[in-house]
Amino acid sequence: MCRSRLYCVGVLLCALVAVGQPPEAAAQIGKLKKVIGNKAADTAVETTAGGAKNSACIPDRPPVVIESFPLTAAQMAKINAGLDAEIAAAAGAKAEAERQQKALEVQQTAYDKAYADYDKRNGPWNECARKVEEEDAATSEKMGQDGEASTKSALGGMTQEDIEKLANRAQAAAQRVADGKGTAEDRKTLAEFQQTMAGVQTGAMNAAAAQQASSQFNREGDKRTEAKCGKRPEAPTQPSNAGSAEDIIQQSGAKAAGVPASTWRQWREDQIALAMSNTVIKSDNGGKADKSDGASSGKGADAMNQQIQATRQKICAMKKAGVPI
């Protein structure tokens, strides 16, 4: 499948031009010059008509006229800089790919050995850590039970319901004492209540201490595991794949263009498709940026057509250098 619709158009045009009709092409070129009406378009059309300036790697063909394109002239200039970088990198790309492959083989051998050692140690370590975890769980449960027992002991075996009943009795006794009607039984009730509340406070303190101790114990689980089992084995890092010669070439292009690899691949494909299909950007109203017909402004079209023409001149050098098109 074609990589883009525009690229397919370029390939189709190549096939059509192979059996092209020079008189008809000249007529189309004449009409195009009247429509475009700026210097960059004139240059592109004259180049196509005469063939003297056109790249020998691209057959002469009638231009494809479009009104606009998502790339700007500045972006096209970056693409051409990236293509120059790819041409420069092509000579050493194969050797660099071979170097990376040999380095990867060495790294892979070391990785396989390291992983075998990791796998050998990781199983016993996991078994040891599991036992420590089970022991810690039992200890933590016992600490909780001891805290509850301590709280109950401080309360003298009284339940929450017992404490509430005693509090109600103490409240009534305190009222009678305040009214001067208190009895010995009332004073006994108040003394019992005070003693019980002291136990409640002690129980609460015991419960808080038990909770704090349990939390501290749980936080130190990793330390106990490391003390009994040693440090947890770390899996080695899988080495990265070696790049192909094409990858290395395109990395150079993306770096020179100053864009991510994914952006570079799309920009590159679009620009080469423009060049191979002999596309010309139509100027708006003879170069006036009134945007009445949706075409590019005159200066913008001029600069874009210059960049497309520059790409055409690079295609032979790319093929000669072994840069994938």
Mean pLDDT calculated for residue range 126-135: 93
Same domain, 179 and 277: no
Q: What is the pTM of this model?
A: 0.49
Q: Give domain status of residue 80, yes or no.
A: yes
* Domain assignment of residue 85, given as a range: 5-97+244-321
d(CA 198, CA 194): 6
Q: Is the pLDDT of residue 306 over 80?
A: yes
pLDDT at 28: 36
Do 84 and 10 share a structural domain?
Answer: yes
- 195 belongs to a structural domain: yes
The count of domains in the chain is 2
In a domain, 307, yes or no: yes
pLDDT at 213: 84
Of 176, 195, 229, the residue at which a domain comes to its end is 229
Do residues 41 and 81 both lie within one domain? yes
How high is the pLDDT of residue 9?
Answer: 39
- Residue 253 and residue 82 in contact, taking contact as beta carbons nearer than 8 Å: yes
What was the pLDDT predicted at 218? Answer: 85
Instruction: Give the whole-number percent of the chain exceeding pLDDT 90.
Output: 37
Question: How far is it, in rounded angstroms, from Cα 102 to Cα 242?
Answer: 9
133 shares its domain with 87: no
As a whole-number percent, the residues of the chain with pLDDT over 70 amount to 76
Same domain, 11 and 78: yes
Residue 19 inside a domain? The answer is: yes
Write phi, then psi, for 217 (nearest 5 degrees). -60, -45
Q: Which long-range contacts (CB under 8 A, 24 or more apart) does 291-294 make?
A: 293/67, 294/67, 294/68
Domain assignment present for residue 113? The answer is no
Cα 297 → chain centroid: 37
**Apex 295 CA angle, 293 and 298, nearest 5:** 115
Q: What is the pLDDT of residue 27?
A: 42
Using the 8-state DSSP alphabet, how is residue 259 labeled?
S
Are 220 and 255 part of one and the same domain?
A: no
Q: Are the CB atoms for 257 and 311 separated by under 8 Å?
A: no
pLDDT surpasses 60 at 144: yes
d(CA 53, CA 309): 9
31/236: higher pLDDT:
236
pLDDT in tens, 48-69: 433 335 556 777 788 899 988 9
Q: What is the pLDDT of residue 297?
A: 56
Last residue within a domain, chosen from 229, 264, 292:
229
My answer on whether 215 and 125 are in the same domain is yes
Per-residue pLDDT, 284 = 63
> What integer pLDDT is reported at residue 154 of this predicted model?
64
Per-residue pLDDT, averaged over 285-299, amounts to: 49
- Both structure tokens of 173: 């006794």
Cα(197)–Cα(57) distance, rounded to whole angstroms? 100
pLDDT confidence of residue 269: 94
pLDDT bin (cut points 50, 70, 90) of residue 3 is very low
Tokens of 124: 């016993």
Contact between residue 166 and residue 196 where contact means Cβ atoms under 8 Å apart = yes
Domain boundary among 202, 229, 256: 229
Would 302 be classed as within a structural domain?
Answer: yes
Instruction: Determine contact, residues 122/233, Cβ cutoff 8 Å.
Output: yes
Contact 218, 136 (CB under 8 A): yes
88 and 175: one domain? no
Q: Are residues 30 and 66 in the same domain?
A: yes
On whether residue 260 sits in a domain, the answer given is: yes
Considering the domain boundaries, does residue 105 fall inside one?
no
Note the pLDDT tens digit of each residue in 93-128.
Answer: 989 889 988 999 999 999 999 999 999 999 999 999
In 3-state terms, what secondary structure has residue 157? coil
Contact between residue 309 and residue 316 where contact means Cβ atoms under 8 Å apart = no
pLDDT on residue 156:
67
- Tokens 């975890």: give the residue: 133
- Rounded to 5°, the CA angle 266-71-253 comes to 45
Quick one: tokens of 269?
Answer: 């494909």
